């Protein structure tokens, strides 16, 4: 039981409605305090784990983005590019540059190149003074922060709109995340105006008069409660010291002979000191009641003193606690993480973190459209080719910056000791070690799959054709960040003479017959 729970004294005196309400409010506050503490602990845990696990991944991801930026920038400046493709290339480069401006995970050299590219695309103004350039960069960073704040505002508006049963567009006024109370006041004013318009248009004169009387009565109630709350606050300020002195007189440790009880009373007095300093009326009331438990009549008397006004303060404290909880809950982007719930629990924060962690881990691979499906098909293709004893080689484009092959695929490939070649050229044929390995296989047909379709895959395919070999493109096992790029690349490779097919089609084509020992394996894979 709460130390201020007066039900223990019912034998002495029946509890009044205000006393019962007091106990209900105290219980609710204690539950909310527990909820708040749980959320705070969950938030702290997630922040610690993010600092250890997630932030390093973001750092790697930013390095990947920079590598993409650098590669595309070099490609633009070293190749003759058609106007239509150049426009799309410029768009991608400018987006990457804007994402990386003033990024703390970039080196000074990387930052310098990003600024040069940003200046080229007029993302920041060109200026001879480095200080002014830095200002522009910071301005862009501020713009990014503004965009992030706008996203948070949008999420909050969507949540509020759902709770109010209105559209997001209906909330057509600015939302200050630091002053939700002012926003809700605007919401209330708009609802009142719309209600008044409805009454004006829909109700007859007698109905409008009745409603007007009702509205005025409700308004008086609200004003009365506000006045009472102000009175309660004033009274609380005056009562805090008085309550504290009473506590001190009842539990002062210097008056206690028993050593153990003296320690306990010292701890209670320290709590009272802290509560007085923080103007925590509830804790002081609880401590006073606890201190007076030796005298049941005194405990009941405490509960009766200004109890109605105290209850108003407790109700306000409940609202504040709920706001603190909501402030933590809705500081996170739930919708963007795939959570579509009305209410959230601390355990959901852990789940959200795990989702975010998985998401950024997946982004460490090239940011490929429909990548889950692509990964599945690639895994099936690798296992099928292994069952057919078709030799496989892996080419990794700048693994230091872009990362190695996904672990799910590496595990499959390592079982057969698949050779892995590092390259910086886009075409595998332009890398001597890779090309030497291909030539050694003495095969006319070469199956190509991986990313990105419009860069590494396409250039390798065109070079194979130039060298008299037949490239076979597995369309459901190649991908690009932009699906349009993938589409155009496949079309160009087909027109150049490449064979275009799918994972299942090529595996059964190579298998030829259901009597092949690999048939059962392939059938199970494509099921």
Tell which wins on pLDDT, 336 or 310.
310
Cα angle vertex 435, ends 434, 436, to 5°?
90
pLDDT tens digit sequence for 40-92: 998 888 888 877 777 777 777 788 788 888 888 888 888 887 777 788 888 88
Answer yes or no: 429 catalytic: no
Domain ranges for the chain, please list them: 19-165, 203-329, 371-526
How many whole angstroms separate alpha carbon 101 and alpha carbon 120?
A: 13
Radius of gyration of the chain (CA): 35
Dist CA 208 CA 354 (whole Å): 55
pLDDT in tens, 155-206: 667 766 766 667 777 777 777 767 777 777 787 778 777 776 766 666 666 6
Cis before residue 519, ω within 30 degrees of 0? no
Q: Residue 389 and residue 387: Cα distance in Å, rounded? A: 5
- Residue of 246, 423, 429, 485 marked catalytic: 423
377 is catalytic: no
The CA distance from 363 to 64, in Å, is 9
Instruction: Tell me what pLDDT residue 159 has.
Output: 66
Retrieve residue 447's tokens.
């199956």
Q: Catalytic residue, from 286, 456, 463, 482: name it.
A: 456
CB atoms within 10 A of CB 61: 17
> Which pTM value belongs to this model?
0.40
pLDDT at 465 (0 to 100): 94
What is the CATH topology of the domain spanning 371-526? Rossmann fold (3.40.50)
Residue 171's CB: how many other CB atoms inside 10 A? Answer: 20
**Active-site choice (90, 348, 359, 430):** 359
Q: What is the mean pLDDT of residues 371-382?
A: 84
Q: State yes or no: is 370 an active-site residue.
A: no
* pLDDT digits 0-9 by tens, 434-487: 999 998 888 899 999 988 888 889 999 999 999 999 999 999 899 886 777 888
């Amino acid at each position: 039981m709460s130390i201020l729970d007066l039900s223990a004294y019912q034998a002495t005196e029946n509890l009044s409605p205000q006393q019962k309400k007091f106990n209900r409010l105290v219980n609710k506050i204690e539950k909310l305090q527990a909820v708040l503490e749980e959320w705070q602990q969950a938030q702290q845990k997630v922040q610690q784990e993010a600092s250890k696990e997630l932030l390093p991944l973001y750092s790697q991801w930013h390095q990947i983005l920079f590598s993409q930026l650098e590669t595309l920038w070099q490609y633009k400046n070293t190749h003759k590019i058609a106007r239509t493709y150049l426009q799309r290339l410029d768009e991608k480069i400018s987006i990457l540059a804007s994402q990386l401006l003033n990024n703390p995970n970039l080196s000074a050299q990387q930052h310098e190149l990003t600024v040069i590219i940003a200046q080229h695309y007029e993302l920041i103004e060109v200026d001879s003074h480095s200080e002014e350039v830095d200002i522009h960069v910071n301005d862009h960073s501020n713009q990014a922060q503004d965009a992030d704040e706008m996203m948070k505002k949008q999420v909050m508006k969507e949540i509020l709109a759902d709770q109010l049963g209105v559209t997001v567009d209906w909330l057509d006024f600015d939302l200050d995340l630091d002053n939700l109370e002012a926003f809700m006041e605007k919401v209330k004013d708009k609802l009142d105006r719309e209600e008044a318009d409805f009454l004006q248009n829909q109700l007859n004169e007698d109905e409008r008069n009745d409603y007007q009387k009702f509205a005025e009565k409700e308004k008086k109630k609200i004003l009365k409660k506000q006045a009472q709350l102000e009175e309660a606050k004033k009274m609380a300020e005056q009562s805090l010291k008085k309550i504290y002195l009473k506590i001190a007189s009842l539990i002062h440790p210097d008056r206690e002979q028993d050593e153990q009880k003296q320690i306990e009373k010292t701890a209670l007095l320290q709590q009272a000191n802290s509560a007085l300093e923080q103007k925590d009326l509830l804790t002081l009331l609880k401590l006073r009641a606890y201190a007076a438990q030796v005298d049941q009549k005194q405990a009941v008397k405490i509960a009766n003193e200004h109890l109605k006004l105290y209850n108003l303060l407790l109700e306000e404290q409940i609202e504040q606690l709920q706001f603190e909880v909501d402030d933590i809950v809705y500081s996170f982007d739930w919708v963007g993480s795939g959570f579509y719930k009305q209410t959230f629990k601390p355990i959901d924060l852990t789940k959200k973190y795990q989702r975010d962690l998985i998401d950024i881990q997946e982004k460490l691979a090239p940011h490929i459209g429909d990548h889950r499906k692509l990964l599945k098909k690639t895994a099936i293709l690798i296992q099928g080719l292994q069952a057919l004893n078709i030799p496989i080689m892996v080419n990794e484009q700048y693994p230091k910056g872009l990362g190695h092959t996904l672990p799910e695929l590496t595990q499959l490939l390592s079982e057969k000791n698949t050779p892995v070649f590092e390259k910086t050229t886009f075409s595998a044929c332009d890398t001597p070690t890779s090309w030497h390995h291909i030539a050694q296989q003495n095969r006319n047909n070469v199956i190509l799959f991986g990313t990105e379709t419009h860069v590494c895959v396409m250039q390798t395919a065109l070079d194979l054709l130039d060298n008299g070999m037949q490239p076979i493109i597995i369309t459901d096992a190649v991908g690009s960040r932009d699906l349009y790029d993938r589409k155009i690349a496949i079309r160009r490779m087909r027109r150049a003479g490449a064979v275009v097919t799918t994972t299942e089609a090529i595996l059964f084509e190579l298998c030829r017959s259901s009597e092949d020992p690999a048939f059962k394996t392939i059938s199970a894979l494509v099921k």
